[in-house]
Amino acid sequence: MTGGFTFRGVHSSRYGVHMQAQGRTLLPPRREGSIVIPGESGCYDGVGGRVYDTRSESFQCGFAKPAGMSVPEVCRELAYWLSGAGRLVLDKEPDKYYMARLSGAPPMEQHLHYGAFTLTWVYNPPFAFGRTVTLPVRDGANAPQYQGTAETPCLLVLRNTSGRTIQNITITAIKRSGL
């Protein structure tokens, strides 16, 4: 097994867990928005092919029993850690993260000295997030550069760290295609 992951701020190496992707996906599944129009050929595609559903990816994981703990004890610790939703960072993509939760009940093999299991993560939204960018705003036009590869909402937070009052702020959204 190669690699690991960080979930909710805890790296899998804390439990001796290593993982291997079983099948990464190029794109999440496209949301179908087809409406059949009676008496017409084809259909109306209401979402235009650019709206996606949640993405699911499975990873094969395993661990060797650490000294002083039994395999069932490690499994209980893993179950507690992996419960809920949070940020998931894969070691192979350390500059990206997904908002993820586990899907279903992960199958678990418990042996005398090791454990093996499959994790199926659901990402919602289905795309990876990049790092948070902080840019100073200057008088006049400011042009922050978008480094993403998918159309996603943007969150702008304006903080006035000066002692002066700021007035007449205008934010202009420009839709760009072909990113």
- Each residue's pLDDT tens digit, 70-97: 999 999 999 999 999 999 999 999 999 9
Q: What is the pLDDT of residue 15?
A: 93
Q: What is the pLDDT of residue 22?
A: 80
Contact 115, 62 (CB under 8 A): yes
**Poorest-confidence range of 20-24, 37-41, 46-50, 156-160?**
46-50
Instruction: Give Cβ neighbours of residue 58 (< 8 Å, ≥ 6 apart).
Output: 21, 22, 23, 118, 119, 120, 121
- Has residue 9 got a pLDDT over 80? yes
48-71 pLDDT, tens digit per residue, is: 667 888 999 999 999 998 888 999
Cα(137)–Cα(125) distance, rounded to whole angstroms? Answer: 29
Q: Which of 154, 85, 175 is nearest to 121 (CA)?
A: 85
Q: Which of 73, 75, 61, 59 is nearest to 17 (CA)?
A: 61
Q: What is the pLDDT of residue 47?
A: 66
Domain ranges of the chain: 5-123
Q: Which of 23, 27, 35 is nearest to 51 (CA)?
A: 27
Cα(7)–Cα(89) distance, rounded to whole angstroms? Answer: 7
Contact 4, 78 (CB under 8 A): no
148-179 pLDDT, tens digit per residue, is: 777 776 777 888 888 888 887 777 766 665 54
Phi, psi for residue 163 in degrees, rounded to 5? -90, 0
**What CATH architecture does domain 5-123 belong to?**
Beta Barrel (2.40)
Matching residue, tokens 């039994």: 70
Q: What is the pLDDT of residue 179?
A: 45
The angle formed by the CA atoms of residues 84, 99 and 135, to the nearest 5 degrees, is 135
Q: What is the pLDDT of residue 48?
A: 67
Q: What is the dihedral of CA 13, 17, 22, 27, to 10 degrees?
A: -40
11-20 pLDDT, tens digit per residue, is: 999 999 999 9
Tell me the CB-side half-sphere exposure of residue 49, using CA atoms within 13 A: 0
101-158 pLDDT, tens digit per residue, is: 999 988 889 888 999 999 999 999 999 988 777 778 777 777 777 677 777 767 778 8
